[in-house]
Structure 1
Amino acid sequence: MEAVLLVQIVQTLRRGEIGLDIVAALSMGSALAVGETLAAAVVALMYAGGQFLEAFAQARARRELRGLLGRVPRTATRLVGPTAETVLVEAIRPGDRLMIRRGDAVPVDGNVEAGEALLDQSSLTGEPLPVRIPKDGAAMSGSVNVGEAFVLGTRLPAAESTYAGIVRLVDQAEASKAPMSRLADRYSLGFLGLTLTFAGAAYALSQDVVRSVAVLVVATPCPLILAVPVALVAGVSRSAGLGVLVKGAAPLEALARIRSVVMDKTGTLTEGRPGLLEVRPEGSVTEAELLRLAASAEQGSTHPMAAAIVAAARERGLPLVAPIGISEVPGHGLCADVEGRTVCVGSRRFVAGCLNDRPGALRHDPEPASVEDVDVCVAIDGRIAGSLVMMDLVRPAAGALLTRLRALGIRRIVLATGDRRAVAEAVGSRLGLDAVKADLTPTAKVDAVKAARGDGPVMMVGDGVNDAPALAAADVGVAMGARGAAASSEVADVVLVGDDLARLADGMEIAIGARRLAVQSVVAGIGLSTTGMIAATFGYLPPLQGALLQEAIDVAVVMNALRAAMLKPASWR
């Protein structure tokens, strides 16, 4: 063991580093030199056992990451006309139709084309209950079908799917070394000097070299060597189990120290797509009838606003009919015949233009919507029947997330968006943000991140390609992985696998807990070791008993650090 340790030390010194293993080598070598062979054997056992415990702890802590890798599907059942064929996942192309049977893992991202899917997404998002995906709903690769078979229409090739991106992130996460571990190496020379000072004092007091050996034996700094990486890697693994992929121990430790947050708006704090906020009927028409006729007509359009209106009507269970005689001006509106009635849906200017040839038909403009809303007018049989208020809806979990972030020590939350100032300020006011910065270019978002550093380490949260520079500039970049751009996920330090914003606070809680356990283990371990060194200096702790004491300290701190693998955020308690 001594020879192996010396080889490791020489290799470390050649790289220009002074590791804490030098103290372990000194304690073993000096114990052997003075005939304390049993103490030397205990130190060797302690060192080898410590390395084993570290390997065991990290292997246990990475079980969620290994679980992800173990669920990679190799083949899939592709439907070609009336026949089914088994193909390699790599051969799947966008537009293919796949049969996903009970127990199958979804191999690529896609939409449910036939049937209804009941998917276990626990390995991706941490959601413990199966999620029901309706027809046309999105299914993430890596989730497992626990219901009846369904047909999946693929959207991406396997190499670009959510699951493939997760596997790449796992590889990055496992290759990281904790910053506190680097800090331990950086100050190892000082610790070595302190140990030699105690050893020299012991000899000066007693003229007994054995007493100095006892100091060296007790000083073996395994708590600092083992506890930090074990706790942080366990935290990385635990976060992955909750759907928060942290790319290694360094970002996890940084995540625990965040004091300022810069957030994008569209797709992050808001849904990133239009939604129906309110139905405003006029005259004798009811809300349900107004929405039903408008949605029936909008079935003839591919505009995102039209799709949102149709989706809102279907969510309310309204019976839609097929429109005929559709006349559309793309981006402005359309007119169609619905059940023998002429229905026009679109902007106020478009609807006014449609009614110009009917004097008195346009009685007045509908009530203006607020600055962040879009007002869609609806006319039926030549008269204004009401309006539909559309907006980019704030995520339901956004308010609760910001409250949790402040409870975790975040001092300042800033909205940074390229959207119009009026829209951004409306969202900022609604959520109680500390500052709003609008009309920003990607470069200006980077400047916003740098400016926020005055309040402490900064976390940037975004989802688009335009957010990628700011994510890279922040101390911790967080990407929304479900609908986010690939570029943002690549440069981010943390990726939220699902579309649940609350996972961000969960990840921060795990990071803070893991760092707390790491520091707790180090302080307790080094404190006990220092106490033992003092006792050995004054002759109260012989080499053998010192070695046994240090062994017990090492086991205790590693087991304490391993508790990070069992941390639970407040939302899961």
Structure 2
Amino acid sequence: MSVLNSNPSKPSSAVWKSLETLIAIFTIIMITAHLILRFGTGSSELVQNLPLWSVLALGGTPLVWGLLVKMVHREFGSDLLAGISIVVSALLDEYLAGSLVVLMLSGGEALEAYAVRSASSVLQALSNRMPAVAHKKTDADIDDISLDQIAINDTIALFPHEICPVDGIVIEGHGVMDESYLTGEPYMMSKTPGSQVLSGAINGEAALVIRAEKRAVDSRYAKIMQVMQTSEQHRPRMRRLADRLGAWYTPLAVLIGLAAWGLSGEPVRFLAVMVVATPCPLLIAIPVAIIGSISLAARRAIIVRDPTALETADTCRVIIFDKTGTLTYGEPHLTDQLCAPGFDPLEVLSLVGSLERFSKHPLAGAILKTMQEANAVSHEATEISEPPGQGMQGTVAGHSVQITSRKKLLKQQPDLETQLPPQAGGLECVNLIDDQYASIYRFRDTPRTDGHSFISHLSPRHQIQKTMLVSGDRESEVRYLAEQVGIENVYFSQSPEQKLEIVNAETSQANTIFVGDGINDAPALIAATVGMAFGQNSDVTTEAADVIVMDSSLQKIDEFLHISRRMRRIALQSAIGGMALSMLGMLLAAFGYLPPVAGALSQEVIDVLAVLNALRVAIPLKALIDFNPERPV
């Protein structure tokens, strides 16, 4: 749980978890010292109990105080029963029993502390990504200034591979920029004078000069940071599985203990009931199942950053996907080769592909791949020229070959407008051979081959009632992908703020999973019940996500859902089975058939059985997917 969303009944989450870890370590040392004094030195009982008294005083007191605060807030979880056991053990001189409960109470949460993220880490990752200074251009000089000194209409120089510090307009230079982290578009976007640039975008290999249209604090990237902070602050705190079970187990155990004391007049029966009732299946078995599942997921390239995701993923009924990099590969694919009359498609592909071998543009790879698949002949290319943002031209096999855009071609030859096919979704390039229009190539982001089979199995196998596609990309691209994978609920051209609104609305109705991989997905990842990030394209995204899928595979989402279901099943078996046996023991203790010492021994047996069952969760299985990834889209 983040600092911003920490439990209101406890001190600052980070401080509290550090304190619990220190208490757990201190308790282990003191219990060990007690056992050495008791069985190794023959010391007096007073000396033997000194380490245990220190545990109850220094470790038990802050834990019990925290539990008293929880009582004031009417939060009756499993750890409250453990607190009662600590107090009763101290009052009735059962110091070792009380110290063991201190260890269980502090150690159970300490096991999970490493996996719980802090909200500040997300915002820190956002801040670290931005440059510390901007290069302000005045006459012939360039001065470095801080981002908060940038004023509207300032002229800013942007050097190759730098991150743009502010929203603006290009006034000098030609190049490309990577805006995929912000917009979801998987391509390098051409930038020429008059083009808009977004803060946070990564410049290409050419220097640009831009005019600031907004201050840094009002730019696109800063707005995402603000949305991120808002979504963190208003994220609802999930109630843990152990707390939900303890909410009824704790008062029932106390009621049985008080009834036994009241009817018999013997306070020792209350202690016997409390000792048997100490909820080790909740405090230890459930964390063991969670940690085992985290380990199992890690071996399958799935990093679980928040254990709550394991507890809640199987209860999610809505799954929301971003487009680029999740249901697609984030790579352009040549889908249409529309040739003009009199031109042979294979020959055009051969000439264009031979020139594209020398290009760094992302569309070049798609053309070369198609050329290879078609076994097209490769020719030598000479006189190659590729000015930034101006297309490419050269001489191939004695022919003049030019690759450009529809807009630039019509500026040169307006009369060709009637000859060109209508513009469609996706990206395109226009090819000229010997100054004659030869073809238009159309490109789309490549859908994952297993996308349709994965989407179609979510409802019958994982009880997903609603599947959604929410993207910052254009309508034509988003609808094309939705048709390919079988998603009906489609939202396109969505800003991070709009994505956040959609996720909040859906999460208010049912638990949600959001799957994304860009900075523009980070607020939605935080707002969803479970946020899953693909790969490590962005530190910001992986910090915001509860679960990180390292190899960007839809099969891994299916594996994680199965791991979550298996964890819940085994954890509930351990917890409910352990509590049922404890209930039997409490009844025997209430009627005087189970004294405190025997009750402690029987509770230890119950604990061992519960923990051994919980350990089953880490046993690796041969397969954890149940859909056919080979089914064609």
**TM (normalized to structure 1)?**
0.66
Aligned residue among 82, 100, 122 for 1:21: 82
Tell me the equivalent position of 2:526.
472
What is the aligned partner in structure 1 of residue 177 from structure 2? none
Shift of residue 434 of structure 1? 3.5
Q: 1:48 to 1:464 in 2, by over 3 A?
A: closer
Partner of 1:424: 478
Q: Hey, what's the Cα distance between the residues in 2 that align with 1:547 and 1:539?
A: 14
Q: 1:242 and 2:297 equivalent? A: no
- Following superposition, the deviation at residue 411 of structure 1 comes to 1.7
User: What is residue 324 of structure 1 aligned with on the other side?
Assistant: 382
Instruction: Report the Cα distance in structure 2 between the residues aligned to 1:448 and 1:352, rounded to whole angstroms.
Output: 40
Cα shift at 1:192: 5.0
Distance 1:52 1:572 in 2: 39
Does the Cα contact within 8 Å between 1:418 and 1:441 map onto a contact in 2? yes
Output the CA distance in 1 between the equivalents of 2:411 and 2:250.
84
Query: Is 1:304 aligned with 2:362?
Result: yes
In structure 2, the CA distance between the partners of 1:464 and 1:502, relative to structure 1 (3 Å rule), is: same
The alpha-carbon deviation at position 45 of structure 1 amounts to 10
Q: 1:6 and 2:56 equivalent?
A: yes
Q: Cα 1:197–1:449, aligned 2, differ >3 Å: closer, same or farther?
A: closer
Correspondence list, 1:49-60, <5 A: none
| SS in structure 2 at match of 1:571 | coil
8 Å contact from structure 1 (residues 179, 253) kept in 2? no
Q: Look up the match of 1:402.
A: 455
Q: Judge which range, 15-24 or 496-505, deviates more.
A: 15-24
Report SS of the residue matched to 1:396. coil
Q: Is 1:529 paired with 2:579?
A: no
Question: Whole-Å Cα distance in 1 between the matches of residues 496 and 261 of structure 2?
Answer: 64
Aligned to 1:169: none
Superposition deviation, residue 53 in structure 1: 11
Counterparts of 1:492 and 1:216, CA distance in 2:
40
SS at structure 1 position matched to 2:359: coil
Match of 1:183 among 230, 235, 243: 243
1:364-417 deviation per Cα after TM superposition (whole angstroms, max 9, x unaligned): 846657x43444444545666555332111122322332343322222122111
Question: Which is further off, 281-290 or 211-220?
Answer: 281-290
Does residue 462 (structure 1) correspond to residue 462 (structure 2)? The answer is no
Gaps spanning 5+ residues in structure 1: where? 34-39, 63-94, 96-176
Cα distance change, pair 473–184 in 1 and its aligned pair in 2 (3 A): closer
Residue type at the aligned position of 1:237: S
| Separation (CA, whole Å) in 2 of partners of 1:216 and 1:485 | 50
Report Cα offsets for 1:463-495 as digits up to 9, x if no partner: 22222222222222222224x222222222222
1:446 to 500, 517, 525: 500
C-alpha contact (below 8 Å) 1:274/1:390 kept by paired residues:
yes
- Please give the per-residue CA displacement for 1:99-136, whole angstroms capped at 9, x wherever unaligned: xxxxxxxxxxxxxxxxxxxxxxxxxxxxxxxxxxxxxx
Structure 1 distance, partners of 2:105, 2:250, is 20
Q: Could you tell me which amino acid in structure 2 is paired with residue 296 of structure 1? A: S
User: Does 1:509 find its partner at 2:567?
Assistant: no
The equivalent of 2:288 in structure 1 is 230
Within 5 Å, give how 1:38-117 maps onto structure 2: none
Q: CA deviation at 1:247?
A: 0.9
Describe the superposition over 1:242-261 as per-residue Cα deviations: whole angstroms up to 9, x where unpaired: 11111131233233332222
Pair 1:178–1:521, CA change in 2 (3 A): farther
What letter is aligned with 1:457? N
Answer whether contact 2:306 2:547 (CA < 8 A) is retained. Answer: no
For 1:571 and 1:393, the matched residues in 2 are separated by 23
CA deviation profile, 1:300-343 (whole Å, cap 9, x unmatched): 43322223212433466655333123355755644432122333
Residues 558 and 624 of structure 2 are in contact (CA less than 8 Å); yes or no, is this contact kept in structure 1?
no
- Please give the alpha-carbon distance, in whole angstroms, between the structure 2 residues aligned to 1:325 and 1:276: 26
Residue 299 to residue 446, structure 1, CA distance change in 2 (3 Å):
same
Q: Is the 8 A contact 1:19 1:185 kept in 2?
A: no
* 8 Å Cα contact 2:516-2:525 kept in structure 1: yes
Partner of 1:253: 311
- Residues 231 and 564 of structure 1 are in contact (CA less than 8 Å); yes or no, is this contact kept in structure 2? yes
Measured against aligned partners, the alpha-carbon deviations of 1:276-322 in whole angstroms (never above 9, x if no partner) come to 23445677876554422221022343322223212433466655333
For residue 398 of structure 2, what is the aligned residue in structure 1? 340
Q: Note the C-alpha offset of 1:185.
A: 10
Aligned position for 1:313: 371
Aligned-partner SS, 2:551: coil
Q: Cα distance 1:52–1:454, how it changes in 2: closer, same or farther (>3 A)?
A: closer
Counterpart-to-counterpart distance in 2, 1:346 and 1:506: 45
Q: Is the 8 A contact 1:58 1:234 kept in 2?
A: no
CA distance 1:50–1:281, change in 2 (3 Å): same
Contact in 2 for aligned 1:245/1:495 (Cα 8 Å): yes
Shift of residue 356, structure 1, vs aligned partner: 8.5
Q: CA deviation at 1:555?
A: 0.7
Aligned position for 2:425: 372
Q: CA–CA distance in 2 between the matches of 1:208 and 1:334?
A: 93
Distance between the aligned counterparts of 2:112 and 2:608, measured in 1? 14
Shift of 1:21: 2.6
Q: Counterparts of 1:141-160 in structure 2 under 5 Å?
A: none
Sort the Cα spacing of 1:194 and 1:6 in 2 relative to 1 into closer, same or farther, 3 A.
farther
Q: CA 1:383–1:245 in structure 2 vs 1: closer, same or farther (change >3 Å)?
A: same
For these two proteins, the number of residue pairs brought into alignment is: 446
Q: Post-superposition shift, 1:268?
A: 2.1
Cα separation, partners in 2 of 1:560 and 1:551, compared to 1, 3 Å: same
Distance 1:315 1:236, change over 3 A: farther
In 2: Cα distance, 1:13 partner to 1:27 partner: 12
Does residue 294 (structure 1) correspond to residue 345 (structure 2)? The answer is no
Given the two structures, how large is their TM-score scaled by the length of structure 2? 0.60
| Number of the residue aligned with 1:154 | none
Name the SS of the counterpart of 1:570 in structure 2.
Answer: coil
Identity, in percent, stands at 31
1:499 is aligned, of 537, 546, 552, to: 552
Counterpart in the other structure of 1:91 = none
The amino acid across from 2:65 in the alignment is R
Match of 2:199 in 1: none
Partner secondary structure for residue 20 of structure 1: helix
In structure 2, the gaps of 5 or more residues are 1-30, 32-51, 71-78, 116-160, 162-236, 628-633
SS at match of 2:315: coil
Contact 1:179 1:249 in 2 (8 A): no
Give the deviation of 1:274 after TM superposition: 1.2
Say which SS state the counterpart of residue 579 (structure 2) adopts. Answer: helix
Change (3 A) 1:377 1:534: same
SS of equivalent residue, structure 1 residue 256: helix
How far apart in 1 are the matches of 2:527 and 2:250? 37
Q: Are the equivalent residues in 1 in contact too, given 2:104–2:283 (CA < 8 A)?
A: no
- What is the deviation of 1:504? 2.0
- Whether contact under 8 Å (2:336, 2:443) holds in the other structure is yes
